[in-house]
Amino acid sequence: MKIIKRSRTEVTFDIAKIMAAVAKANQEVVHNERLSEEQIQMISQNVENICQEMHRSLSVEEIQDLVENQIMNLRAFAVARKYITYRYKRALVRKSNSTDEQILSLLECNNEEVKQENSNKNPTVNSVQRDYMAGEVSKDITRRLLLPSDIVDAHEQGLIHFHDADYFAQHMHNCCLVNLEDMLQNGTVISETMIEKPHSFSTACNIATQAIAQIASSQYGGQSISLAHLAPFVQISREKFVKQVKEEFEKTGIEASEEKIREVAELRVRDEIKRGVQMIQYQVITLMTTNGQAPFVTVFMYIDEVPEGQTREDLALVAEEVLRQRIQGVKNEQGVYITPAFPKLIYVLEEDNIREGSKYWELTKLAAACTAKRMVPDYISEKKMKELKDGSCFPCMGCRSFLTVYKDENGNPKFYGRFNQGVVTLNLVDVACSSAKDMDKFWQILDERLELCKRALMCRHYRLKGTPSDVAPILWQNGALARLKKGETIDKLLYGGYSTISLGYAGLCECTRYMKGVSHTDPNGTEFALKLMHYLTDTCHRWAAETNIDFSLYGTPLESTTFKFSKCLQKRFGKIPGVTDKNYITNSYHVHVTENIDAFEKLKFESQFQELSPGGAISYVEVPDMQNNIPAVISVMQYIYDNIMYAELNTKSDYCQVCGYTGQIQIITDDDGKLIWECPQCKNRDQDKMNVARRTCGYIGTQFWNQGRTQEIKERVLHL
């Protein structure tokens, strides 16, 4: 059994240290108030038993809380006071410089929490360590100086989660839709170098990857680009190749018809598309931004986004090449093709591609094969999205954050060049448990927590307000998000719906189970869950009216936070069956991962909640290996088109570097009760010698996860 020290390193549990600490406090009280040696032994043994029952590594602070409780249970109040006083004095000493131990443990690569904090960051790499070190300083400044103490306390207790506190000290926003069209068509500036409109498709792709890297270093969330902004440059390359081929034939004395010239030029166009797409795929994967990871970028494939004609046909050619290259995958260090995490792909299902016989049906079949092999693309239904987004269809920012509909001065919808200011998430499970099943008290506590969230979100807003465009020229001055002047603030982009700010929520499933005694899939639970969702959405609308800031309800993609919330809930309320007895809580409105439900039923059920989560949401179905059952994948895709706006299929795509096994690496429990990954063929347990890719929460993770998320992955049931 392991524990996590204050430095965040993981060590073996030692009962002798508990006995020594209690004995020390015991010696400081008068003789007739002391505990006996047997009682000290019993306290220590009880704490050890509780730790083993938790099935995870507890922190030192959690264990000390357990010790306090055990001493109090024996009514040894004098001893308890001495123990608590000692803890308090030691805490004061540590607070004099609270970040040193964490930073040192980062540098020595033994910070267990950081190892599992982000499934796409390798904490042994210098650039990642540098980012985490800066993050520790930022979090320290944020806690002590920048945020009100009650918001900090609520965050640390798990009542809310103030996302990305490690970047809050800087004036940075969350995620965005890149206006790549503006940057390419009107030129941009990258690292103080003028970049003019490109004269070929491959050059446009190269500029796009350079912009992606710069943008990723200027914000902390995901970004999305559209292939529709690259497609017009295919025709520019085509015209150039026609001219080149004609000149080459004339110089070599070869007589050729105009048709033959265009045929040869088209071969070169296809080759250029292949090279351009390859450039995007490999540069995105191999780029290392200033936060120590590949850019979190989503590529949007929407055929009807461009007018019918040559540009649309070229867009289809580019999308086809993107899918073919993703099916192939990328090579790992051993030269074996594996599944990369990025770029994330989104394919829009529309009338022109969803049924057999439709114009782009073959492209949809290719997308299905890609999903079966590599877990992407994810799917947006044009039909459902237009129903929910005022007739518009557009990408999310990163993995799931959606903008509200905004119209420019000419009354035309505008999405590219917009962004999200930040997220604060409400722990719905804590609201429920705090109410002790009293429904009136539930709504009262909910209002109090929502007001806390609003103040926390306004802290995010005010941190951005007054930010000069000079802090990130590529974003604010050179077209990625705006064309502001030097020295001009970004303030006008924070109001009137141009950008959004997100109220996140988590644990609707467990919240409903606690309050109603049933899952939210049960009709008795569904009514309550929908009422709660309506209330949250209405609250965001009210806040927006009060502030002229577009507050939007967002289904939070918990990663490490799912474990944090779970630990906080268990500390406050113990283990409540079906509510707090897991080391994770359920993302947003999702059906619990252990609940047996058919894929189509799950998508239909969750669609009603997705509609009430306009700031962001994604649904998924867990499926087995589907590479030999593409028709079933297509059936799910067609169901998505008719029933839900945004969804994905989760399959498995792993590789063992020791024995060459491909398939599903398993999760088992080791002798210390810790969840670890093991190859089912050769029993390899070395995470550095396996490639595991799993959908974490809207995007693919490849660097492994904390114990809470790992348990959630292990317990997922198949829906198909």
Q: Could you tell me how many residues make up the chain?
A: 720
Cα 358 to its chain centre, rounded Å, is 34
* Cα separations in angstroms, 419 against 187, 481, 544: 21, 8, 16
Contact criterion met (CB below 8 Å) for 170 and 217: no
How far apart CA 704 and CA 47 sit, in angstroms, is: 29
Q: What is the DSSP secondary-structure string of 266-296?
A: HHHHHHHHHHHHHHHHHHHHH---TTSS---
How far apart CA 128 and CA 107 sit, in angstroms, is: 10
Q: Which residue in 135, 158, 507, 698 is the catalytic one?
A: 698
Cα 643 to its chain centre, rounded Å, is 24
* CA dihedral over 552, 555, 560, 562, signed as positive or negative: positive
Contact criterion met (CB below 8 Å) for 389 and 615: no
User: 624 preceded by cis ω (within 30°)?
Assistant: no
Catalytic site includes residue 69: no
Catalytic site includes residue 222: no
Tokens encoding 286: 């191999």
Q: Which residue in 179, 226, 401, 469 is the catalytic one?
A: 401
DSSP character at residue 410: T
Catalytic site includes residue 401: yes
R_g of the chain, CA atoms, integer Å = 27
How far apart CA 505 and CA 480 sit, in angstroms, is: 29
Q: Which residue in 382, 559, 606, 712 is the catalytic one?
A: 559
* Cα separations in angstroms, 686 against 179, 656, 679, 692: 42, 10, 9, 12
Residue 546 phi, psi dihedral angles, 5° rounding:
-75, -30
Catalytic site includes residue 698: yes
Indicate the burial class of 635 (C-beta count within 10 angstroms; 0-12, 13-18, 19 or more). middle
Indicate the burial class of 520 (C-beta count within 10 angstroms; 0-12, 13-18, 19 or more). buried
Q: Which residue in 51, 172, 175, 637 is the catalytic one?
A: 175
Q: Does an H or E element contain 112, and which? A: helix 112-115
Residue 208: name the closest of 185, 228, 183 by CA: 183
Cα 464 to its chain centre, rounded Å, is 22
End-to-end alpha carbon distance in the chain: 36
Q: Which residue in 420, 502, 653, 684 is the catalytic one?
A: 420
Q: Which residue in 393, 399, 453, 690 is the catalytic one?
A: 399
Catalytic site includes residue 554: yes
Q: Which residue in 44, 174, 588, 706 is the catalytic one?
A: 174
How far apart CA 343 and CA 326 sit, in angstroms, is: 9
Catalytic site includes residue 587: no
Catalytic site includes residue 397: yes
Q: Which residue in 379, 554, 589, 699 is the catalytic one?
A: 554
Q: Which residue in 1, 370, 397, 453 is the catalytic one?
A: 397
Active-site residues, by number, are: 174-175, 397, 399, 401, 420, 554, 559, 698
